[in-house]
Amino acid sequence: MGELKYKDITEKIIGASFEVHKFLGNGFQEVIYQRALAYELGMVGLDYAREISQHIYYKELTKPIGTRRADFVVEGCVLVELKAVIELQDVHMAQALNYLKAYRLNVGLLINFGSKSLTFKRLVRG
């Protein structure tokens, strides 16, 4: 089996997420975890953009039909979507995969701070 794409970046993101969860635990709103993770990403030397809007296009329409805002794009190549829910659902996975498509990225992480233990899923698009 080959090496995972952006493995070094995703490992740092996951490690930073564990640090946040270790300190804060579960039970806070998503924005609290966003702010703490932004701090930790900086501490591990990762460049990131937080809550950048991306236009959503439909078929051949030249004007966007809306926008979406992903939680983070790290190093310009890894999308990170955060949740603070008891359990990740299929709808959360679908949302994150749609964000990957909209942002034209191939690798993402769906990270949940809402459960007793940090949970995450690595997402890969085409």
In the chain, where are the structural domains located? 7-124
Confidence of residue 5 (pLDDT cuts 50, 70, 90): very high
- Checking if the pLDDT of 3 tops 80, the result is no
Question: What per-residue confidence (pLDDT) applies to 2?
Answer: 59
- Checking if the pLDDT of 1 tops 70, the result is no
Question: What per-residue confidence (pLDDT) applies to 4?
Answer: 86
Summarised one tens digit per residue, pLDDT across range 71-120 is 999 999 999 999 999 999 999 999 999 999 888 899 999 999 999 999 99
Neighbours of 95 (CB within 10 A): 16
> pTM here?
0.91
Q: For 102-124, give one letter per residue: b (16+ CB within 10 A) or e.
A: bbebbbbbbbbbbeeebbbeebe
Summarised one tens digit per residue, pLDDT across range 34-46 is 999 999 999 999 9
Summarised one tens digit per residue, pLDDT across range 35-85 is 999 999 999 999 999 998 888 888 899 999 999 899 999 999 999 999 999
Long-range Cβ pairs for the range 27-32 (8 Å, 24+): 27/114, 28/84, 28/113, 29/84, 30/71, 30/82, 30/83, 30/84, 30/113, 32/84
- Name the fold adopted by 7-124: Trna Endonuclease; Chain: A, domain 1 (3.40.1350)
- Which residues neighbour 12 within 8 Å (Cβ) at sequence distance 6 or greater? 41, 44, 45, 46
